[in-house]
Structure 1
Amino acid sequence: MSPRFQCKQRGAIGLMAVGVLAVVLAFTLLVVDTGRLYLEKRKLQGVADTAALEAVSRNGTCLAGLSAATYAGQSVARNHFVVGNGNTLVTQCGAVTTAASGQRTFSANPALSSAIQVVASKTVTTSVAGGIWSLFSGNSVSLNTVLTATAVAAKPTPTLAQLSIKSTLASVDTANASLLNGLFSGFLGGNVSLTVAGWNGLLNTNISLLSYLDQLAINLGVSAGNYTQLLSTNVTASQLVQAAITVLTANGATADVLTALGNLKVAAISQAPLTLGKILQLQTGTTAAALNANLQVFQLIQGVVQLSSNQSAASATLPVSVLGLANITTQIKVIEPPQLSAIGDPALAVANPLGPNAIYVRTAQVRTQVTVSLPVLNSLSGLTTAVNNLVGPLTPVLSGLLSLNLVTTINSTLCLLGAGCQQLDLLVLPGNLPLNIVLDAGGASSYVTAYSCPTGSAGTKSVTAHTTTSLASLNVGNITHAFSSTQPMSVAPMPLVDLGIQTCHKILGIGSCDPRVPFGAGGIAIQVQSNIAGSNSIQDLVFSSTTPFATPPNVGLASTYQAAAPATNLVSGLSTALNGVSITAYQPSGGNPLGALAPTVVALLGSVSAIVTPVVDNLLAPLLNPILNNLLNMLGISLANVNVGANLTCGQTGEAYLVI
């Protein structure tokens, strides 16, 4: 090859070397510049991660006081990140939800603090590659680029248990709707007129407990997330219903449900101060994440209405047609409101099952008084005849007093030598006293006594709930202060026969009589104070992963329910209570010569009981059956059954950790 061509080749190689060197330098610049951004991004991510972890570890919140933003700011400052001059730091509180696919998502909510998100941004010089790309893309070239790092830290999931107790009422028909309308009208003070569709809508709709409490806090002006204060804040029944309306409207509830709630709000005219903590229980310090549970709307409203009755001084008087019992007055009052749901740390609950950290639920304790007026008593077939038949055994006794120089007959004058004349005055059902029947149905209760969580792949997930079914007691007689909040209820015998006396004088042909002395010669009365045998049952309900269909799901999922063993022999128990009619003999007034009748009257009690008890049984049974079978069931109280639900979330161990 000629030297001429060799020289040209050497020149081409030189140009290629220069080109390759330029490319190498360009790529080196790109790598260095990109590495600079990568290192800045990585450093910024470390700042954000550390800030989020510190905010969670120091129990920061987005409420006043323990500020998560303050803790995050202190953390970034120690890592030489200065906020300002293009650098920003944004801190948010909320919760992390995990989808079925396993993907985690942060949801901001200032009321929650189970997770904290920190977003750190830093302004750096734009990279060469970025500038060239912007130039060739036709965009304006910025000399600065904003890097952003996001970190979400959360506390380890705490171990939580939840108990719920609910009515066995599954659906409402026309008859039940009429009874519920009458009951709720009496409790709320206004007119409740819900349709069957409205009642069933409430039964078939759930409400988020967390959303409900957050909305109520907004309505009452309570600090977001301060649930302890919220549960102890005074509120009216109308405000409690309104919070439910707002939440369910946002969640797309049906028109039947919203109309029903609107009617209940209008009917809630009582301004008695209520506290929601009497029907919903949270352990002190329970996190908002634990409230991510659903509650049946009917159950919530039922609790609000019963709480309103408990706090009101008046009792609800039901229309006589409600129970199908004419000329009979039925009054009802909630003595103790229900505890619908309880959430907390099961370890604290097990340490003292009935202490301040108990996870305890109960149905309401209700007192029902049925007043039977005298016209109804008189119309009862056989009652007057039975009482009059009591006089028959007394006639021979009175005749026997002739040996004491006494002249005695029923409704005639008994004259003693040298004294005035005494008249024996017999009254049947004296004083027009009504017969009072009071039925107390105590709240069924359940509380956590044990739990277990699996360790690794071994172990059992279980909750044990000690459960007692309802206890009923029956009182019959002359009852006072049945609904008094200051005086205990008093049960006195109801007189059936009053053997009164009246002393008369005759001076110079002019007669006069002293006032009648009731029960001067004694008398007979009836009284019942008895527990209904067989109406209570105690057992431990075990919700366990080793038992089919009894695994307690995590808090926030639909509860697993178990029915407690029904209270047995209610019918025979009621019969036993009715057969426990007590026949009481009133003793004659001191010194009265008719006192000789007292031993005889006492001796006749066996035959008297045989006469009166069947009549009283026939009176009480038709009155109590509608109460036991219908009225109490509408209030979530079943003497035959109680449903208890359980949830258990087994927590994690360790410190705060990064979740996103």
Structure 2
Amino acid sequence: MFAAAALTGGVGLAALAVDLGSVYLQSRRLQGVADLAALSAAADLTRADRAANATVEVNPVGGTVAVKVAKGRYDAQQAAPPQRFQAGENGADAARVTVEGQVDLFFAQALLGKPSIPIRRQATAARADLASFSIGTRLASLDGGVANALLSGLTGSSVNLSVMDYQSLVDADVELFGYLDALDTKLGIQAASYDDLLKTNVKTSKALSVLSDVLSTEGKTRAAGAAKVLASATAANQTVKLSALIDPGPYGRQDRVAGGAGAAIGIDAMLLANAMLTLSNGSRQVQLDLGSAVPGLADVDGWLAIGEPMNSTPFMTVTQDKSVVVRTAQARLYVEAKLLGSGLLAGAAQVKVPLLVELASGEAKLAALDCATRTTTLAVKPSVGSLTIGQIDTGKLSDFKQALSPSKARIVQAPLFTVDGASKVDLGGGSFRNVVFSNADVKAGTVKTVKTNDLAGTTVATLVTGLTLDVELLGLQLGLGKSAVLTALTPVLSAAAAPLDQVINSLTGLLGVGLGEADVRTNGMRCGAPALVA
């Protein structure tokens, strides 16, 4: 009796094991098909349904299999796994595939009264399509005089580089993560990840010195020498938090980036050096004495105030998120230019134009990343602002929380007469405009300038044309009329317009902005293969 009972139990357990084994095996097969289908769907999101069904067809598991595909976005930052995948067509970068089938029963048919039971398996795959872009910098001309004056103010010491030196920095691309690795090693930070490294306050001179070493290792000797000059000139107490400069995006949690040349992200050394100096300058206001370095002007003094980028956004980023914005710093430039008088305005007459330039932040964000055509589209909002001829208190220039109210300026001071004037031009057009970078543009490091629709004609010449002038005659015995003074003043102001434009463009260009303009560059593009994430 005991043997019969044991034999019956053993046969029952064996029967149960057969059915459980069959269910488990079929479930594993179905899960494998779901995984493959999710990878196929994520690799071709425009035809995700077709790709998933085709994968199931060429990987039969027996019986009829139903396939459901959902496209959406996958955010690994979400703490709760069920919330990481959000279904939706807009900006989809992931696919979730659900497959349903039947598994045959053997001995369990007698208990359940049916020959099979349904099973369902699910898999999620996401792509890692990334673009790196920055809002860039330009080369100042004027034989390097303007650039030297600005960088001398930012470093706190004398900088004397040539235009060729600056051009070498602009032309020298530095691999971003290679530079960060060198910074971590040479400064002995030993950060656990790029995010940890970028949270560190680094002496600006050391960061520039490492930049020089990296450029030298790559054989870019002239650029390395220029970076070394900047490092030597930078004050020892200046520090920079690199997180205000770079957002490494999904690479932030890593301590190295694999993938070879396909994962490389280049950034020009001039942008890197200039942005570090801008961010580390404590006063954020630089006084510039350009002297007679500007042809057509007798003397030029300038004050440049640099604001914080809005919400401490970085100058460059690595991302697939279309909501991430990079920004330049807002800026104010005040220039007092002494002009070369002639005729009635020669000799004792002093002719001066005080000019205020206010610039909002230029902005850029990712609009589209097309891996099929290898193109990146950036949405760019140019830096808008205003040009004003008027007098201000330079002590209030760096207080960006307070609006400036320029007063009428004394343009001509002569023994027997004076001329006061004021003029202002506002530049609108503060909307995003798209600019496309091809694969060739990315490889060449092409910088593109995006302008507002109403930029044309917004120059110092426009201000001069719109000047409201008040002439006060103190010595009527000269027999001079107001018309004679204005007639003499008009050609002097007109001749100064072009040199003043050059000063404005050179100084603001070093900050990567211009009135009604923004310079952008796609530094790298990576179309990653899809990976299973759930």
TM class by smaller structure: 0.5 to 0.7
Q: How does 1:75-114 map to 2 (within 5 A)?
A: none
Q: What TM-score does the superposition give when structure 2 sets the normalisation length?
A: 0.59
Residue in 2 aligned with 1:262?
228
Contact persistence 1:494–1:525 (CA under 8 A): yes
- Give the deviation of 1:252 after TM superposition: 4.0
- Give the deviation of 1:206 after TM superposition: 1.9
Matches of 1:439 and 1:621, distance apart in 2: 14
CA RMSD, Structure 1 to Structure 2 (Å): 4.4
Matches of 1:621 and 1:525, distance apart in 2: 18
User: Is 1:176 matched up with 2:143?
Assistant: yes
Contact persistence 2:137–2:270 (CA under 8 A): no
Matches of 1:230 and 1:585, distance apart in 2: 61
Aligned-partner SS, 1:575: helix
User: Is 1:274 matched up with 2:240?
Assistant: yes
Alignment CA distance shift 1:176-1:361 (3 Å): farther
- Give the deviation of 1:448 after TM superposition: 1.2
Aligned-partner SS, 1:492: coil
Matches of 1:316 and 1:246, distance apart in 2: 31
Gaps of at least 5 residues in structure 2 are: 1-124, 473-481
Alignment CA distance shift 1:232-1:436 (3 Å): farther
Alignment CA distance shift 1:239-1:649 (3 Å): same
Contact persistence 1:156–1:654 (CA under 8 A): yes
User: Is 1:317 matched up with 2:284?
Assistant: no
Contact persistence 1:550–1:560 (CA under 8 A): no
Matches of 1:537 and 1:492, distance apart in 2: 30
Q: What TM-score does the superposition give when structure 1 sets the normalisation length?
A: 0.49
Question: Partner amino acid for 1:328?
Answer: V
- Give the deviation of 1:438 after TM superposition: 1.4
User: Is 1:446 matched up with 2:364?
Assistant: yes
1:238-272 deviation digits (Å, cap 9, x = unpaired): 022022123334x2434433322221111111623
Matches of 2:360 and 2:520, distance apart in 1: 15
User: Is 1:578 matched up with 2:464?
Assistant: yes
Matches of 1:322 and 1:198, distance apart in 2: 18
- Give the deviation of 1:210 after TM superposition: 0.7
- Give the deviation of 1:468 after TM superposition: 2.4
User: Is 1:469 matched up with 2:411?
Assistant: no
User: Is 1:361 matched up with 2:247?
Assistant: no
Aligned-partner SS, 1:190: coil
Residue in 2 aligned with 1:655?
532
Question: Partner amino acid for 2:376?
Answer: V
Matches of 2:292 and 2:273, distance apart in 1: 24
Matches of 1:189 and 1:578, distance apart in 2: 35
Among residues 542, 560, 580, which one is paired with 2:436 in the alignment? Answer: 542
- Give the deviation of 1:207 after TM superposition: 1.6
User: Is 1:303 matched up with 2:271?
Assistant: no
Matches of 1:551 and 1:196, distance apart in 2: 27
- Give the deviation of 1:646 after TM superposition: 5.9
Aligned-partner SS, 2:397: coil
Residue in 2 aligned with 1:343?
318
Matches of 2:455 and 2:169, distance apart in 1: 33
Alignment CA distance shift 1:573-1:496 (3 Å): closer
Question: Partner amino acid for 1:540?
Answer: N
1:289-341 deviation digits (Å, cap 9, x = unpaired): 387312122221122233234x3354131331332433332233333569542
- Give the deviation of 1:569 after TM superposition: 5.3
Among residues 495, 502, 514, which one is paired with 1:626 in the alignment? Answer: 502
1:455-480 deviation digits (Å, cap 9, x = unpaired): xxxxx555331112332421222201
Residue in 2 aligned with 1:483?
397
Matches of 1:649 and 1:241, distance apart in 2: 28
1:83-107 deviation digits (Å, cap 9, x = unpaired): xxxxxxxxxxxxxxxxxxxxxxxxx
Aligned-partner SS, 1:277: helix
Gaps of at least 5 residues in structure 1 are: 1-154, 386-428, 455-459, 499-522, 544-548, 587-605
Contact persistence 2:445–2:522 (CA under 8 A): yes
Question: Partner amino acid for 2:241?
Answer: T
Contact persistence 1:334–1:364 (CA under 8 A): yes
Question: Partner amino acid for 2:165?
Answer: G
Contact persistence 2:290–2:300 (CA under 8 A): no
User: Is 1:531 matched up with 2:426?
Assistant: yes
Greater alpha carbon shift after TM alignment, 575-584 vs 160-169: 575-584
- Give the deviation of 1:613 after TM superposition: 8.6
Q: How does 1:223-234 map to 2 (within 5 A)?
A: 223-234=190-201
Matches of 1:177 and 1:494, distance apart in 2: 30
Structure with more contact order per residue of length (Cα contacts < 8 Å, sep ≥ 6): 2
Identical pairs, percent = 22
Alignment CA distance shift 1:168-1:187 (3 Å): closer
Matches of 2:466 and 2:169, distance apart in 1: 42
Residue in 2 aligned with 1:194?
161
Residue in 2 aligned with 1:140?
none
- Give the deviation of 1:218 after TM superposition: 3.6
Matches of 1:214 and 1:528, distance apart in 2: 51
Alignment CA distance shift 1:198-1:608 (3 Å): closer
Alignment CA distance shift 1:623-1:636 (3 Å): same
Matches of 2:276 and 2:374, distance apart in 1: 33
Number of equivalent positions: 384
Question: Partner amino acid for 2:211?
Answer: A
Larger C-alpha radius of gyration, 1 or 2?
Answer: 1
Contact persistence 1:188–1:270 (CA under 8 A): no
Q: How does 1:570-609 map to 2 (within 5 A)?
A: 570-571=456-457, 574-582=460-468
